[in-house]
Amino acid sequence: MATNVIMLGPPGAGKGTQAERVARTRGIPRISTGDILREAVHHHTVVGESVRAIMDRGDLVSDDVMIGIVTERLRREDVSTGFVLDGFPRTVAQAAALDQLMDGRDPLIVLDIVVPESELARRLGTRMICGECGTNASGREPVAGCCGKCGGGLIQRADDIDAVVLERFKVYQTATKPLVEFYRDRPTFRSIDGAQTADSVTAALAAAIEMLGHGRFDAAIRRVR
């Protein structure tokens, strides 16, 4: 059975870090639409140039662009044993499109990482990104202030400045939070306390995936409620 996981949660919830850990542990690809878009911006591709200003403002990229990116990615052979989606879907329209893409595949495990807004603001205010390759800093780089991937200097993300953070929260509340309601009644949905330490969140996610991935849906529903 393939392990197909969606990571939901507001900006700063730790979706990227946790998605990478789940993917590495299970030997499945992490599909980060944010990373795909930032790479496109960095390399000045057609898509990158079209979405640069949108991302810098903290707005959502159009459904058509995002659905197209994910549709192409899910056609590759490396997702046959599963995947972890980070950053998609972000709207109900994207979620409905993903349901169509999943036709004939194993069910989606939907994990919603919940963190108080005050903690999210604190995290986003200190988050850094490589100015060269666009990789998010982990806080464990071998050389302080330098990217552990390419050695480039770390800078604050353009979408993490105060005004943009407020806009991103607003966008999340109006466009992305309804996803929780879209998925909540599914037997493969689970909310996770993201205010714990990163390692505790990892353990909680692993336990949820084990339970939901083995079809113990009745127990899962009771724990979600």
Of the listed ranges 10-14, 35-39, 48-52, 213-217, the least confidently predicted one is 213-217
pLDDT at 130 over 90: no
Considering only residues 142 and 45, tell me which one the structure prediction assigns the higher pLDDT: 45
Side chain identity, residue 51: V
Output b/e per residue, 119-154; b: 16+ Cβ within 10 A: ebeebbeebbbbebebbbbeeebeeeebbeeeeeeb
pLDDT above 90 as % of the chain: 43
Mean pLDDT of the chain: 84
In terms of phi and psi (left: phi > 0; alpha: psi -120 to 50; beta: otherwise), the region of 89 is: beta
> What domains does the chain contain, in order, with CATH numbers?
3-116+161-224 (3.40.50.300)
- Strands 154-156, 3-8: pairing is unpaired
Mean pLDDT, residues 42-52 taken together? 81
pLDDT at 218 over 60: no
**Could you tell me the pLDDT band of residue 224, with boundaries at 50, 70 and 90?**
very low
3-state class (DSSP) for residue 114: strand
* Amino acid 220: pLDDT: 40
Mean pLDDT, residues 207-224 taken together? 63
pLDDT at 217 over 60: no
Q: Count of CB atoms within 10 A of residue 72's CB?
A: 10
Considering only residues 120 and 202, tell me which one the structure prediction assigns the higher pLDDT: 202
* Amino acid 161: pLDDT: 56
Hey, which residues are catalytic here? 15, 90, 127, 157, 168
Whether 80 and 2 have beta carbons less than 8 Å apart is answered as yes
* Amino acid 160: pLDDT: 54
